Amino acid sequence: MVLAGRRQWRLFYWFAWLLTAAIPSNSQTPALTTVSDTVFRANGNFAAGTLLISWPAFTTADNHLVAAGSTSVVLGASGTFTVQLASNSGATPAGVVYTVVYQLTDGTVKTEYWSVGTTSPENISQVRTLVGISFGAGQMATQSYVNAALANVVHLTGSETITGAKQFAVSPVLPAPVQSGQAVNKAYVDASVANTGAGNFVMKSGDVMTGALTLSGDPNAPNQASTKHYVDVSSALKADLSAGTVPASELGSGTANSGACLHGDSTWSGCGNGSGTGLTPGMQAIKYATDFAWSQSNGANLSTAGAKTVTLASCPAGVIGTEPQYYVYISGTGTAEAVLVTGGTCAGNSQSGTLQFTTANTHAAGYAIGSASGGLQEALIAARFTPSNPTGSSQSGRVIVPPGEIKAFARVSIRASNVTVDFSGSIVECWMNDTCIFVGDPSTSTLFDDVTLLNPRGRPTVAGGQKPFIEVHYRGHGRAMARVTNASSIAAEQNGSNDGVRAAVRRLKMPPAQTSVDCENAALVIVTDGTAAGYRGKYQTWSDFLPDAAADIFPGDALGVNVPSRTASFLAIVKEVAIAVKDLAGEHCVYELQFEHAVSEDLAFEFDSQITALFESNSQVTTAFLGLAEIPDTQVGNTTLPSLTGAAITDVSSTTATMDAGLTPQTGGGIEVRWSDFGWGQNNDQNLAGRFTTQTFTLPRLGRVEDYFLRQYDGSTPPKYSRYTAALHIDYPL
């Protein structure tokens, strides 16, 4: 008996083992497909950067569950890319894709979608797909697929129940109804309402009722009819109005002051208990930095350093993913750090959005993301607007940093024109080894202008730091440059394949260059140094007889001198100008011009001690200064056009002003008019009022008082301009 029992148990174990072996294991990992490729930029160079790959939860075609997640892959040194992913081809739910965001080091951010197959390896072009693309309608279908598709349609015969609203392109034909739940036809409805307006029904467009209408109760929605009871109760809680005022007996007892206000229930108590701010949009035009400070907890995984994308439940005002030079501060866990935002969908509109950045440190769960400047950067962004008449770069109003200490963990950038930032009473603590406040755009110095900082005060916190508190990248009047050559000196140095060119780039220190003509004169000193004897002298003349009928002369101007008795004819530089007024009423003055030959060692041109660059061939110079015209030393002083001294306003209306430039524009050139006297040139349209090829032209008036600034230019490349600006002023009622 014992042996028989043991035999039976052995059979049971064998049966259990067979059952276990017959059930497939779901704990196996899904098969992975290798996606491998090389990524290039459009110019053929290898790409560099990071690919962020994310996916929702799905079930593979071979019934493996894949949880939602993400990963990031850094491109190799030669743009190489390799990753292993579970196949989502034929996965459930249908249409599931991998979302891939390219974040390249040149600033490119691109999103695409992948459908990964089951055969390794695949390249990027094989897995790339479009969201919403489905399979063709010409494929064969199984009987079960057809039956399932027909299960929810209405059949021509049989009793069926329809749920939801249905629309018919052609009205269905219905028999006369006999039961309460049946559909009715037009004839039945027409017969039922035939006595409307004269019998049992009231017209919706208006009618007269002969009896009282009793409502079910007081209204609970704004457009519902009211009962007498509701009106009586509501009126009892309201004050009466007599001759436009509320009777004193209904105002309660009390006196309004800073701490007591009259409430709607006729009682006096504390003020400010309501939810409104009491501020109009116009009053909110002035932005206070501390109002824009923000911080949010976030659940995105920052446990490893690198490129990240986080989602904010609400993007506060001033938080914009596409804003250049915008930083956020990550703190709470790990080593706190400020990170530069490189992209994202946040638009500062209190809606959900994303921010993209690259972390240098790791942050475990529980961290927070917030302003890196105590709200100052966000206030500067929120205060901006882009004008539309005429269209221009971003402008702003006024931003106030309230008294107190404000911590800045990253650079604060002021990127707007016509903005005033008031720091009065505040201290900006600079917790970064970088410029604390940067005014302007790092790459384009003419993008913004007219920025005013009131009483800024900073406090450095980085030991041994040498970065500035305020850095300004701004150029209001263009850069004065000149390229002057001495043909005879070059010819003397030529030898075989040596073209004889020896060039140096120097920066003029004193006197400061007002225009490129001043740079030409300074360059002339260098290229003619030592080629002839030097002269210095003094010349007196009345203002009516200045050389070449010049309107005025400044130190640094070129002066042609011809003294036959000394057999001296040379180009000199004006070193000093003394003016004695002899006739104030007639504006007659005596000019005393002290000049020196361009080769004089005592010439009042002072250059920076450091030579900016040296070149030893003409090809090197041409490549380094592409677009800067070469001027022979014999042409110095002749590179500008006459000023528009005869320009005048010929007609004024309430909306326009007509002007005459005083001369016919140069062939291929014209008259350039600007709203302010800076930024002259073909590549700057920031303050441009217009360019005209005719002597007379009309411009709009934008106010009672208006100023117009004019110069002429020619058709050369680059074009020559008048050295001085003609200013026309209007003060005339609109």
Q: What distance in Å separates the CA atoms of residue 585 and residue 423, rounded to the nearest whole number?
A: 49
- Please report the pLDDT score of residue 498 as a whole number: 80
- Gap between the Cα atoms of 528 and 521, Å rounded: 11
What band does 368 get if pLDDT is binned at 50, 70 and 90?
Answer: very high
Tens of pLDDT, residues 422-444: 999 999 999 999 999 999 888 77
Do 523 and 433 share a domain, yes or no?
no
* Domain CATH for 100: 2.60.40
How would DSSP label each residue in 194-238?
TTTTTSS---TT----SSPPPPSSS--STTSPPPHHHHHHHHHTS
457 shares a domain with 329: yes
Residues 317 and 381 in one domain: yes
In a domain, 423, yes or no: yes
For residue 327, being part of any structural domain is answered with yes
pLDDT tens readout for residues 527-582? 765 555 567 788 888 888 888 778 788 887 877 777 787 777 777 788 889 999 88
Looking at residue 17, its pLDDT comes to 39
Report the alpha-carbon distance of residue 337 to residue 281 in Å, rounded. Answer: 35
- Single out the residue of 396, 385, 452, 446 nearest to residue 423, CA to CA: 452
Q: Which two tokens stand for residue 498?
A: 């040596």
Q: How far apart are CA 181 and CA 104, in angstroms?
A: 66
% pLDDT > 70, the chain: 78
Residues 502 and 561 reside in one and the same domain: yes
Domain boundary (455, 473, 491) is at: 473
Number of domains in the chain: 4
- Nearby residues of 647 by Cβ (< 8 Å), 6 or more positions away: 659, 660, 661, 662, 710, 726, 728
Q: Rounded distance, CA 722 to CA 352, Å?
A: 54
Q: What's residue 21's pLDDT?
A: 40
pLDDT of residue 605: 65
pLDDT at 655 over 70: yes
Which range is most confident: 43-57, 210-224, 233-247, 389-403?
43-57
Mean pLDDT (the chain) is 81
Q: From CA 60, how far away is CA 89, in angstroms rounded?
A: 7
Percentage of the chain modeled with pLDDT above 90: 36
263-310 residue pLDDT tens: 655 566 555 545 445 555 555 678 999 999 999 999 999 999 999 999
Residue 132 tokens, joined: 């919403």
382 with 529, same domain: the answer is: no
Which of the listed ranges 359-373, 551-565, 583-597 does the model predict with the highest average pLDDT? 359-373
**pLDDT confidence tier of residue 590, bands split at 50, 70 and 90:** very high
Q: Does the pLDDT at position 393 exceed 80?
A: no
Q: Could you say which of 89, 106, 129 is where a domain stops? A: 129
- pLDDT score recorded for residue 713: 94
Residue 699 has pLDDT above 80, yes or no: yes
Domain span at residue 76?
A: 32-129
Tell me which amino acid residue 403 is. P
Task: Please say if the pLDDT value at position 485 is more than 50.
Answer: yes
Asked whether residue 140 is domain-assigned, the answer is no
- For residue 356, is it within any domain? yes
Residue 379 has pLDDT above 50, yes or no: yes
With respect to residue 185, please indicate whether it lies within any of the assigned structural domains: no
Same domain, 441 and 300: yes
Q: Are residues 331 and 469 in the same domain?
A: yes
Q: Are residues 301 and 393 in the same domain?
A: yes
10 in a domain, yes or no?
no
Angle at 7 between CA 6 and CA 11, to 5 degrees: 115
Last residue of a domain, one of 80, 99, 129: 129
Same domain as 588, residue 612: yes
* Domain assignment of residue 613, yes or no: yes
Q: Are 512 and 404 in the same domain? A: no
Residue 160 resides in a domain: no
Looking at the structure, tell me whether residues 462 and 323 fall in a common domain.
Answer: yes
Q: Which residues contact 46 (CB under 8 A, 6 or more apart)?
A: 38, 39, 40, 75, 77, 78, 79
Through-space distance between the first and last CA atoms of the chain, rounded to whole angstroms: 123
Q: Please tell me what DSSP assigns to residue 120.
A: S
Alpha carbons 495 and 274: distance in angstroms, whole number: 90
Does one domain contain both 324 and 425?
Answer: yes
